[in-house]
Structure 1
Amino acid sequence: MLAELSIRHFAIIEEVTVPFEEGLTVLTGETGAGKSIIIDAIGLLIGGRGSSEYVRHGSDRAEIEGLFYINEKHPVIEKTQGQGIEVTDGMIVLKRDITNSGKSICRINGKLVTLAILREIGQSLIDIHGQHEHQFLMQSDKHLSLLDQYLAADLKRTKEEYRQLYKRYVETDRQLKQLTENEQEMAHRIDLIQYQLDEIEKANLQPNEDEELMEEKQKLSNFEKLYQSVQDAYQALYGEQKGVDILGLSMGHLEDVADIDPALKPVQETVTNAYYALEDVSHQLRDYVETMEFDPERLTVIEERIHEINTLKRKYGNSVEEILEYSSRIEEELDTFTNKDDRIQSLNDKRKEIGKDLYLEAKQLSNLRKQAAGKLEKKILRQLKDLYMEKTTFQVAFHPANHASNIRMEIDGHEVQFGKHGMDEVEFLISTNPGEPLKPLAKIASGGELSRIILALKAIFSNQQEVASIIFDEVDTGVSGRVAQAIAEKIQKLSAGSQVLCITHLPQVAAMADRHLYIQKKIKGDRTLTIVKPLPFDEKVKEIARMISGVEITDLTKRHAKEMIQFADEVKITS
């Protein structure tokens, strides 16, 4: 759950820290006080699109930080581990700064991350539902993803197998088109490949040749310095009164006394080992000097060969190994082109076999979805009945996939299309009045109906999503009376054993709250500030009374508010 939210220099918020708890927390206040600004801040914290406009006037940056508590089995743990982010004691801290130039700085548990990673982790912790959800529900192309979300666990293996087959089919089809569509382009490609292969083969490159040549060039270019230094080193070690000779004298003296005092034995052995080691080194230096020979012609040959290799590097790779790898790749490509007819037949056969498997997997995917659709329809209708939409008819309609970018195959004499997600398109149809035909959701549902449909879907999907917190941003817009009470009870049920934050204008929802936060706007000097304060019982009664009556609070509205809270407490006990 979201345990604490800290906001600084964000919009009209100067600085505020809000602790949260489990259960249902409602945020209320006058219009324009900053309720939605707090939700906007949370949206940015989990990877929403930022802007310099969010930075409070006169400040360098806006800062948003949130502390989350999660259990050890939460799926976000795997995601953080994959990014090398350590999670201890079940705590995750998200932090996002937005500068007045519009740049974002994102951190998770103190580690700098990209906005994409912040979004991936953040959206696994919080699920925000606001007015944009209405727009999402209106788009029929999003309905398939909602159905798949409902079936997530059962569908995972089949969807992955379909995705892999689809990917293989598309790649095979691409190779076929490359071989068959443009003969002239292919001829040009063959000429180019043949020229490149001839150029590389003519060079007769050897693995690591460039590195070996550079080493040899370095030795020849510095021959005089190398010869003199090695010769001087040898002279310093070998000869009368030189390093080895002097060390030999020391060794002899120590051998004379090592038997007298055993404590000198290790010292004597060390010197003896050093003597023989230096003697061996001096012989190596002597042999090295004797084999040294300066060959100016060889240096010229090396420089010409390095130039030849560098010319090839500019065309085909950064090293000899990369050039040879490139040569192997284009040789395979040339073989494919020169044996085009055989290759086309092979690819056709391969595509046909993949297509058969793709169709079988698509049918399995479609069958699973249709089975799930029937269950989803029944569950949504039960939820809508609780929300006083008992006369509603809801259907998940299936249509064959139909898009210009789809794969097309002939199956049993009929053309079948396959998209990235299968052979189906799904659309939610609804009729809210008896006798009326089913129509697309976007064409029939009012704002209040959409609010209830969203809530019905959330009641079904909440157990499967495993997010730490759910936020409702005025999803109760457009309802009142008994419908408002039903929505309040539904939101309260969602909060049981979890955490729900809700911005609301409905007193019925506010009465259900386990914790009530009041958002207030104040003027301090010449600046506007947003203040968040938790309401004790008496203040909660006054706020709900204000929500009931508007500006004027009377004893009657206070009694009504207390009755609503008492009724809400009874509902919580019985639910």
Structure 2
Amino acid sequence: MLQELSIKNFAIIDELFLSIEKGLTVLTGETGAGKSIIIDAVHLLVGGRGSSEFVRHGEKKAEIEGLFILDDPTHPCYERAREFGIDIEEGMIILHRDLSSTGKSVCRINGKLVTISILREVGSTLIDIHGQHEHQELMNETNHLRLLDQYGSQEIEQALNNYGILYKQYEQTLSKLKSLSENEQQMAHRLDLIQFQLREIQGANLQLNEDEELMEEKRKLSNFEKLFDSLKTSYGALQGEQKGIDWVGLAMTQLEAAAEIEKDFSPILESVSNCFYILEDVARTIRNEYDSLEYSPERLNDIESRLNEINQLKRKYGGTVEDILEYSATIEEEIETIINRESHIEDLQKKLYQVQKDLFLEAKQLHDLRKIWADQLTKAIHDELKHLYMDKTIFEVRFLQSAGELKGNPNPPFRKDGLDIIEFYISTNPGEPLKPLNKVASGGELSRMMLALKTIFSKHQGITSIIFDEVDTGVSGRVAQAIAEKIYQVSEHSQVLCISHLPQVAAMADTHLFIMKETVDGRTRTLVRTLEHNEKIKEVGRMISGVEITDKTKEHAEELLQLAYAKKAT
């Protein structure tokens, strides 16, 4: 949820800090007090289009910052953040945006500089803003299939996963077949090239780890003189009259005499004796190594030449000898495939045909599940619409293209989400034909339709916060009460911020924020105050009657609040 919101030098807001609670928060106030300006600031915070006109007059920049708390570790924001290399610690994400008076924007997520498009990508998982004429996701037909799949929950998700596994095989097979079916001249050129490459690699007769072994031998030959001197000196220090082994031998002889007198010296004698024999073995080894050393400038030149050959192959075919040998095996297989192209094409066509058959069955299974869930969704939305006094409205999940319609098509248009193309259709008046949802003209009907959809989908979308910006415009009476209850119902699954002029909506608020403006030193600024119960009565009364608030108005407001409390309790 959106826990804290800070706005500085934005329009008529000089500095504003909001701590926002869970549930339903309603913003009310006189027209022009700055309610919509706060929503505009949130819209910019999640990647909306900015303008220098938003910067408060006389200031260099506007600053907006929001702290979001993610209680669900599977929230889609985590996946988006990982895609862009953004760390989320302790379930907290901070969005920050600066807008300069020159129109330049600077965006940050958890302190990391990001582009506006990345801010928008991440922000879309956190906040969903709905205005009277801007219904975003629900009004975009390209999202309807995904919304239906979300409504179908784990059942459709499992079918989609099964389909997705086969779809990857289908794509891979199709890609190989397309590659082999390319222009014959291009294929011949490709064959010439990789045959030349294979001859070059095979002609080098590379051995695994050969370059490492040659580098080690080169290092020894390049340091021959130093190695020779070191071995000679070390052998001379150990072997010879009055040298290391002689002195250790003398110590051993004396300790033997001491041990014959006192047995306690036997362990010491044993240790020195061991050292003596070890040193003798070491001296012999050094002498053998010393005698076997042979400097060969010709061998060093051969090594240099071989390493140069290997490095040239590395520049062409891979960073290591292992990479080169792997590439060799790959192009050898490709050569065989091209030479026997016709038989491979035939095999791939057979495989593609079988994969298409299996994929179509999975698509059909997915389609059948979607039809079942589409019927359930239709029923659920009709129930919601009845509560909003739109019982004459007809809603339909229309399948514009489906697996059933494409049966018998040798090349059905498979996509990663199946074969179905759907769109939500409605008719708000008896006798009128069903039309796409985004073609509905009435603002009031559109708002109620959107609320019905949002009431259902808010349980499945995972959006942290939802903002309703005057979606209740153009309604009154029992419809207003129904809208208030629906907005509250949405807030049970997602935090909701709502700008409203309806007293019924204000009465349902868990938190009521009153927006007002004042003039200080000739400058106008916006202020926000959280209302207590008695202040709520006064504000709801103002919303009922207008300017003059009588005792009867207060009684009506008190009654409306009590009814709202009772309704929320059930």
Question: Retained in 2: the 8 A contact 1:51–1:98?
Answer: no
Give 1:406's aligned residue: none
Question: Retained in 1: the 8 A contact 2:148–2:370?
Answer: yes
- Could you tell me how far 1:352 is from its partner in structure 2? 0.7
Give 2:23's aligned residue: 23
Question: Retained in 2: the 8 A contact 1:471–1:502?
Answer: yes
Does the alignment pair 1:146 with 2:147? yes
**What amino acid sits opposite 2:508 in the alignment?**
M
Distance of aligned partners of 1:240 and 1:528 in 2 relative to their CA distance in 1, 3 Å threshold: farther
Give 1:539's aligned residue: 535
Within-5 A mapping of 1:116-515: 128-130=129-131, 134-245=135-246, 280-400=281-401, 411-412=407-408, 416-466=412-462, 469-496=465-492, 499-515=495-511
Question: Retained in 2: the 8 A contact 1:381–1:394?
Answer: yes
User: Partner of 1:151: helix, strand, or coil?
Assistant: helix
Give 1:92's aligned residue: 91
Please, which runs of 5 or more residues in structure 2 have no aligned partner? none
Distance 1:35 1:558 in 2: 24
User: Partner of 2:413: helix, strand, or coil?
Assistant: strand
- Could you tell me how far 1:478 is from its partner in structure 2? 3.9
- Could you tell me how far 1:555 is from its partner in structure 2? 5.2
Question: Retained in 2: the 8 A contact 1:50–1:102?
Answer: no
- Could you tell me how far 1:458 is from its partner in structure 2? 1.7
- Could you tell me how far 1:386 is from its partner in structure 2? 0.8
Distance of aligned partners of 1:227 and 1:37 in 2 relative to their CA distance in 1, 3 Å threshold: farther
**What amino acid sits opposite 2:212 in the alignment?**
E
Please, which runs of 5 or more residues in structure 1 have no aligned partner? 403-408
Distance 1:511 1:210 in 2: 80
Greater CA drift, 180-189 or 441-450: 441-450
- Could you tell me how far 1:530 is from its partner in structure 2? 5.1
**What amino acid sits opposite 1:160 in the alignment?**
N
Distance 1:263 1:166 in 2: 82
**What amino acid sits opposite 1:206 in the alignment?**
Q
Distance of aligned partners of 1:358 and 1:413 in 2 relative to their CA distance in 1, 3 Å threshold: closer
Distance 1:452 1:440 in 2: 16
**What amino acid sits opposite 2:432 in the alignment?**
E
User: Partner of 1:518: helix, strand, or coil?
Assistant: strand
Distance 1:387 1:331 in 2: 69
**What amino acid sits opposite 2:431 in the alignment?**
G
User: Any idea what the Cα deviations from partners look like across 1:205-258, whole Å, max 9, x if unmatched?
Assistant: 111112222222222222222322333344344445555555566667777778
Question: Retained in 2: the 8 A contact 1:506–1:547?
Answer: yes
Question: Retained in 1: the 8 A contact 2:131–2:471?
Answer: yes
User: Any idea what the Cα deviations from partners look like across 1:173-219, whole Å, max 9, x if unmatched?
Assistant: 22222222311111111111111111111111111112222222222
Distance of aligned partners of 1:437 and 1:420 in 2 relative to their CA distance in 1, 3 Å threshold: same
Question: Retained in 2: the 8 A contact 1:546–1:553?
Answer: yes
Distance 2:219 2:176 in 1: 47
Distance of aligned partners of 1:50 and 1:448 in 2 relative to their CA distance in 1, 3 Å threshold: closer
User: Partner of 1:420: helix, strand, or coil?
Assistant: coil
**What amino acid sits opposite 1:517 in the alignment?**
L
User: Partner of 2:91: helix, strand, or coil?
Assistant: strand
**What amino acid sits opposite 1:153 in the alignment?**
Q
Distance 1:44 1:502 in 2: 17
Distance of aligned partners of 1:331 and 1:216 in 2 relative to their CA distance in 1, 3 Å threshold: same
Q: What count of residue pairs does the alignment treat as equivalent?
A: 560
Within-5 A mapping of 1:51-130: 62=63, 64-66=65-67, 68=69, 70=71, 75-76=74-75, 92-98=91-97, 102-107=105-110, 128-130=129-131
The partner residue of 1:516 within 509, 512, 516 is: 512
Distance of aligned partners of 1:29 and 1:130 in 2 relative to their CA distance in 1, 3 Å threshold: same
Distance of aligned partners of 1:552 and 1:335 in 2 relative to their CA distance in 1, 3 Å threshold: farther
Distance of aligned partners of 1:155 and 1:263 in 2 relative to their CA distance in 1, 3 Å threshold: farther
Distance 1:374 1:528 in 2: 53
Distance 2:372 2:21 in 1: 38
User: Partner of 2:418: helix, strand, or coil?
Assistant: coil
Distance of aligned partners of 1:456 and 1:293 in 2 relative to their CA distance in 1, 3 Å threshold: same
- Could you tell me how far 1:499 is from its partner in structure 2? 3.9
TM-score normalised by structure 1 residue count = 0.82
- Could you tell me how far 1:470 is from its partner in structure 2? 4.1
Question: Retained in 2: the 8 A contact 1:517–1:533?
Answer: yes
Distance 2:510 2:74 in 1: 27
User: Partner of 2:173: helix, strand, or coil?
Assistant: helix
TM-score normalised by structure 2 residue count = 0.83
**What amino acid sits opposite 2:303 in the alignment?**
I
Distance of aligned partners of 1:415 and 1:245 in 2 relative to their CA distance in 1, 3 Å threshold: closer
Greater CA drift, 417-426 or 290-299: 417-426
**What amino acid sits opposite 1:567 in the alignment?**
L
Distance of aligned partners of 1:125 and 1:97 in 2 relative to their CA distance in 1, 3 Å threshold: closer
Greater CA drift, 235-244 or 187-196: 235-244
Distance of aligned partners of 1:61 and 1:481 in 2 relative to their CA distance in 1, 3 Å threshold: closer
User: Any idea what the Cα deviations from partners look like across 1:550-570, whole Å, max 9, x if unmatched?
Assistant: 566565554443332223223
